[in-house]
Structure 1
Amino acid sequence: MANQHSVQAEPKEHHFHQHDAIKSGIKGALFGGSAGFIFSAVQNSLAKRNVGAWGVFSRTGSTIGMFTAVGTVYTFSKDASANLREKDDTLNVTIASFLAGATIGLRTGRIPQILGFGAAFSIIMSTFEFTGGSLRGGARPEILDMDEYERKEYLRTNRRRPITEAISEVGEGRGIKPPGYEERRRERLKEKYGVEINPVSANA
């Protein structure tokens, strides 16, 4: 018979911390503007006629403006949505991605393209965020609740290989001297060259 008085684990309460949307928007503007400047410089360098160095701003400067606007809208909308909903989840990325994609479509001035760019960008970014926000995949459940120090210690020890395994693959010598190395070295020299080496005592 099941215990009717069994203690059930209480769900861990998550405390939401407000984000500084203005600061995030400024960072997004700087990052987007830098990326836009690089793309504008590449476009300017591929021009068929010489337009000069100022062509980065005069000829292809709209690229810088577009990247700056997209970066600002995305980062500001993401944190603003999180603050309004008081949740950090994929929906914040979905909203921010749609607005950022719609910002790209504003250049065309057509509603179908504005909605299409927003939907496409939203689907791509939401899928990327939902699958872990990394090309290597999401974090494993056992390290999600660890703090930064415990996580790094776990990753360091998890990737540590036994010395015997490393020696078996790399081999002895070249600075790698496991226990018993000198005895095995003398035996190999005796078998190969017929020379017996007697170690010199440090106390002699």
Structure 2
Amino acid sequence: MASHTGGDDDKYKRQDAVSAAVTMGALFGTGGLFLAAVKTSLERKHVGPWAVFSKHGHIAATFAAVGTVYEFSRVASANLREKNDHYNNAIAGAFGGAVLGLKAGRIPAVLGYGALMAVTGAVFEYTGGRFQGFGRDPDVDEYERKEMLRKRYRRPMEETIAEIGEGRSIRPPGYEERRRERLKEAYGFEVKPVSTDPDRV
């Protein structure tokens, strides 16, 4: 959520609302067409391939209309207000939800869908605009951030060995000597280390 109210360097840059709306409408329309195709494939009786458009084409049309109106309203609102913040998503959600509610043909549905999409869009944008939460700080170097995480969660080798034990490819310093001592105590004979290096005596 960026507020563009600063000086010349932080001045809002206008966007093309029509181009953004056409792109988003095509994207949403493609998604709606996919859902229409899935719904057609789940029909119990045999229907032809054109049933995607003739019987369930309204799904693709509704998706395309909602996507187009939402994105146009969002970008137009940002251009008029000269700010990129969560209020643009609230305005766009109100218009997009109203388009979705028009299918029901009742005013309460139009208002209800508009309010629901407005709140959802505004909250989503206010909390970072991504499912993972807020984005990473661009001023922090990625290498330094990873090194900090490694140091924060790194555990001493002694603590790890105390929990899971030696062996199974975990061989801390002095492992071979301790292993020979354990074998001598358990079986009564001494194991002499053998080197596979032919140059080593």
Which residue of structure 1 aligns with residue 149 of structure 2? 158
**Secondary structure of the structure 1 residue equivalent to 2:177:** helix
Q: How big is the shift at 1:153?
A: 4.8
Which residue of structure 1 aligns with residue 184 of structure 2? 190
Distance between the aligned counterparts of 1:113 and 1:190, measured in 2? 82
Summarize the Cα distance change of 1:196–1:47 in structure 2 as closer, same or farther, 3 Å threshold. Answer: same
Structure 2 unpaired stretches of 5+: 1-5
**Secondary structure of the structure 2 residue equivalent to 1:51:** coil
Structure 2 residue 90 is matched with structure 1 residue 102: no
Summarize the Cα distance change of 1:152–1:94 in structure 2 as closer, same or farther, 3 Å threshold. Answer: farther
Structure 1 unpaired stretches of 5+: 1-11
Q: Point out which structure has higher relative CO (alpha carbons under 8 A, 6+ apart).
A: 2
**Secondary structure of the structure 2 residue equivalent to 1:197:** coil
Summarize the Cα distance change of 1:131–1:191 in structure 2 as closer, same or farther, 3 Å threshold. Answer: farther
Which residue of structure 2 aligns with residue 62 of structure 1? 58
TM-align CA RMSD: 3.2
Q: How big is the shift at 1:167?
A: 4.8
Percent sequence identity is 45
Which residue identity does 1:185 align to in structure 2?
Answer: R
Which residue identity does 1:72 align to in structure 2?
Answer: T
Which residue of structure 2 aligns with residue 4 of structure 1? none
Structure 2 residue 105 is matched with structure 1 residue 120: no
**Secondary structure of the structure 1 residue equivalent to 2:104:** coil
Which residue of structure 1 aligns with residue 45 of structure 2? 49
Distance between the aligned counterparts of 2:142 and 2:13, measured in 1? 21
For residues 100-132 of structure 1, the C-alpha deviation after alignment (integer angstroms, 9 at most, x for no partner) is 111112223444322221112111222233233
Which residue of structure 2 aligns with residue 8 of structure 1? none
Structure 2 residue 172 is matched with structure 1 residue 178: yes
Summarize the Cα distance change of 1:191–1:86 in structure 2 as closer, same or farther, 3 Å threshold. Answer: farther
**Secondary structure of the structure 1 residue equivalent to 2:30:** helix
Structure 2 residue 36 is matched with structure 1 residue 40: yes
| Count of aligned positions | 188
Which residue identity does 2:108 align to in structure 1?
Answer: P
TM-score (norm 1): 0.72
